[in-house]
Amino acid sequence: MKFVETSGVTPFTRALFQGEPYTVVNPYKGCQYGCSHCSAQIPTKTAYPGYKWGEIVEVRKDILDSVEKNASRWAGKKVYLSSLGDPYQPAEKKYKITRGLLERLSDIDCHVRLITHSDLVLRDLDVLKNMNNVHVGISLTTTNDFHVKLIEGKLPSSDERVETLYALGDSGITTFLNIDPFLPEITPLFRLIDLFNDDVSFFRIASPNWKANIVKKNLFELLKIYEPELFVRYQTIYLKNGKYYDEIRKKMNKNESSRSVEIDITI
Ligand code: SF4
The enclosing H or E element of 1 equals none
Say which residues have a Cβ less than 8 Å from residue 12's Cβ, sequence separation at least 6.
23, 24, 25, 66
Q: How far apart are CA 22 and CA 12, in angstroms?
A: 10
Burial degree of 102 (CB within 10 A; 0-12, 13-18, 19+): buried
What single-letter DSSP state applies at residue 121? G
Note the pLDDT tens digit of each residue in 172-210: 999 999 999 999 999 999 999 999 999 999 999 999 998
Q: How far apart are CA 110 and CA 92, in angstroms?
A: 23
pLDDT of residue 243: 85
Residue 35 alpha carbon to ligand 1 centre in Å: 5
pLDDT of residue 11: 63
pLDDT of residue 240: 72
Residue 185 alpha carbon to ligand 1 centre in Å: 21
Which residue ranges form the domains of the chain, and what is each CATH number? 2-264 (3.80.30.10)
pLDDT of residue 51: 96
CA distance to 68, 113, 171, 187, per residue, from 102 (Å):
11, 11, 17, 31
Kindly report whether the global pTM for this prediction surpasses the value 0.85: yes
Note the pLDDT tens digit of each residue in 1-30: 999 998 877 668 888 888 899 999 999 999
Which residue has the least CA distance to atom 6 on ligand 1? Answer: 35
User: Looking at ligand 1, which atom is closest to the CA of residue 40?
Assistant: 8
pLDDT in tens, the chain (267 residues): 999 998 877 668 888 888 899 999 999 999 999 999 999 999 999 999 999 999 999 999 889 988 888 888 888 999 999 999 999 999 999 999 999 999 999 999 899 999 999 999 999 999 999 999 999 999 999 999 999 999 998 999 999 999 999 999 999 999 999 999 999 999 999 999 999 999 999 999 999 998 899 999 999 999 999 999 999 988 888 767 778 888 888 888 887 778 999 998 877
Residue 72 alpha carbon to ligand 1 centre in Å: 31
pLDDT of residue 10: 66
Q: How far apart are CA 222 and CA 224, in angstroms?
A: 5
